[in-house]
């Protein structure tokens, strides 16, 4: 049993609205049997330079929602535990807008043209006017939203923690369809974001399956089981798909907590190749490379064409490592102590390290252009660039 599973035992909770039992999705190493790996010394070839930082509120909810920064149109939008939503200019760090909703945000906010859309802990999907903060509409969900709502072809798609996915009219929030799929009794607390393309939406589920739905009607196009839940107990059978999936051309890439990284054909769901790699934080993509971190905090770089390993590194074991992200010629991760680590993409060797947060961060960094953005757990949003 790896360190993340052992730590999950102390975080078992019941979701009030969905009635399902979940495990928290962000594991720290504080109470692990083995301590976090000590940081190795190396000669740095790059550094990280802070360009700006700004306070956006009180930080994400202690109720373990999925409030993360959202980048669009050169702006970053972020919510906090008190319901404050803040828009920040990504170049200067200046606050553009700040709205007080007094709602308990559980997922989002996502921004689409003139709309800000987010989910709440009491099972509502809310749309605000981007310019004024006025409420445009509010729709009822069946449970919490722990992922970004996604807009595609005029329909906002919201995936709830109880397994239901809804399609709402962008204009007035009218419910157009619902897709209901059962989930296991015990799951990790979190959901992957819906991934929409060309009239289809792809969803990763807690039993290790991926489904493709028609965006207009919500009807099922195909379903493919990537991992088969195995084991004598519900805990051993965890197979969640909780992190980002990615699409390139006609291929969809997904990784599961049960230990499979796979490439699927997006038209049929047919499995093209599989690799033994367990992850709950999902994938990042650059050209022909996929990056992931496994349940033991080893960092992997994989060829997306056939699943072969380009390199892997276990020197950050048990440090609570985020999903890796690509920036320039480097692969960056941040650990639970707030250290930002950079690998050389070609060699897999450490290239740089900087302590960028004292309170830890809310999820993986966001990369836009040559900048990397971080949201601290205390609500500080900051921008960083690579210094050579």
Reported as a single tens digit per residue, the pLDDT across 60-99 is: 766 555 788 999 999 999 999 889 999 999 999 999 999 9
Enter the tokens of residue 220: 């099922």
* Confidence at residue 324, expressed as pLDDT on a 0 to 100 scale: 97
* Confidence at residue 6, expressed as pLDDT on a 0 to 100 scale: 33
Which residues, given as ranges, of the chain have pLDDT below 70? 1-32, 61-65, 184-190, 229-239
* Confidence at residue 32, expressed as pLDDT on a 0 to 100 scale: 47
* Confidence at residue 184, expressed as pLDDT on a 0 to 100 scale: 59
Quickly tell me which residue has 């050389």 as its tokens: 344
Per-residue 3-state assignment (H helix, E strand, C coil) for the chain? CCHHHHHHHHHCEECCCCCCEEEECCCCCCCCCCCCCCCCCCCCCCEEEEEEEEECCCCCCCCCCEECCEEECCEEEEECCCCEEEEEECCCCCEEEEEECCCCEEEEEEEECCEEEEEECCCEEEEEECCCCCEEEEEECCCCECCCCEEECCEEEEEECCCCEEEEECCCCCEEEEECCCCCCEEEECCCCCEEECCEEEEECCCCEEEEEECCCCCEEEEEECCCCCCCCCCCCCCCCCCCCEEECCEEEEECCCCEEEEEECCCCCEEEEEECCCCCCCEEECCEEEEECCCCCEEEEECCCCCEEEEECCCCCCCCCCCEEECCEEEEECCCCEEEEEECCCCCEEEEEECCCCCECCCCEEECCEEEEEECCCEEEEEEEEC
* Confidence at residue 234, expressed as pLDDT on a 0 to 100 scale: 60
Q: Is the pTM of this model over 0.85?
A: yes
* Confidence at residue 64, expressed as pLDDT on a 0 to 100 scale: 55
Domain 3-387 belongs to what architecture?
Answer: 7 Propeller (2.130)
**CA-CA distance, 340 to 352, in Å (whole number)?**
8
* Confidence at residue 188, expressed as pLDDT on a 0 to 100 scale: 61
Reported as a single tens digit per residue, the pLDDT across 111-165 is: 999 999 999 999 999 999 999 999 999 999 999 999 999 999 999 999 999 999 9
Any residues with CB less than 8 A from the CB of 249 and at least 6 apart, and which? Answer: none
Residue ranges of domains in the chain: 3-387
The answer to whether 225 and 270 have CB atoms below 8 angstroms apart is no
* Confidence at residue 185, expressed as pLDDT on a 0 to 100 scale: 62
The answer to whether 251 and 260 have CB atoms below 8 angstroms apart is no
Enter the tokens of residue 88: 């920040």
* Confidence at residue 319, expressed as pLDDT on a 0 to 100 scale: 95
């Amino acid at each position: 049993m790896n360190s993340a599973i052992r730590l999950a035992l102390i975080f078992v909770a019941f979701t009030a609205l969905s009635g399902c039992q979940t495990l928290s999705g962000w594991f720290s190493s504080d109470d692990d049997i083995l301590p976090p790996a000590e940081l190795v010394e190396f000669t740095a070839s790059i550094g990280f330079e802070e360009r700006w930082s700004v306070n956006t509120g009180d930080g994400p909810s202690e109720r373990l929602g999925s409030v993360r920064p959202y980048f669009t149109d050169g702006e970053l939008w972020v919510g906090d535990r008190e319901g404050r939503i803040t828009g920040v200019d990504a170049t200067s760090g200046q606050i553009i807008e700040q709205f007080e909703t007094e709602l308990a945000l559980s997922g989002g906010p996502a921004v689409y043209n003139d709309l800000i859309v987010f989910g709440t802990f009491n099972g509502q999907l809310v749309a605000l006017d981007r310019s004024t903060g006025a409420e445009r509409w509010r729709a009822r969900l069946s449970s919490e939203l722990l992922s970004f709502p996604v807009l595609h072809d005029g329909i906002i798609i919201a995936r709830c923690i109880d397994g239901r996915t809804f399609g709402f009219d962008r204009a007035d929030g009218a419910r157009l369809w619902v897709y209901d799929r059962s989930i296991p009794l015990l799951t990790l607390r979190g959901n992957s974001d819906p991934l929409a393309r060309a009239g289809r939406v792809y969803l990763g589920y807690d039993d290790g399956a991926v489904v493709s739905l028609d965006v207009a009607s919500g009807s099922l196009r195909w379903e493919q089981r990537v991992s088969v839940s195995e084991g004598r107990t519900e805990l051993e059978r965890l197979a969640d798909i909780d992190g980002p999936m990615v699409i390139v051309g006609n291929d969809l890439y997904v990784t599961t907590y049960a230990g499979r990284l796979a490439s699927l054909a997006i038209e049929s769901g047919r499995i093209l190749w599989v690799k033994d790699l367990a992850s709950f934080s999902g994938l990042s993509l650059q050209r022909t490379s996929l990056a992931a971190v496994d349940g033991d905090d080893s960092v992997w770089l994989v060829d997306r064409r056939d699943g072969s390993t380009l390199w892997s590194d276990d020197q950050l074991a048990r440090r609570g490592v985020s999903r890796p992200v690509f920036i320039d010629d480097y692969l960056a991760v941040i650990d639970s102590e707030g250290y930002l680590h950079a690998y050389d993409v070609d060699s897999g060797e450490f290239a740089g390290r900087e302590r960028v947060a004292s309170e830890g961060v809310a999820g993986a960094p966001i990369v836009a252009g040559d900048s990397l953005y971080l949201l601290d757990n205390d609500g500080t949003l900051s921008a960083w660039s690579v210094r050579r």
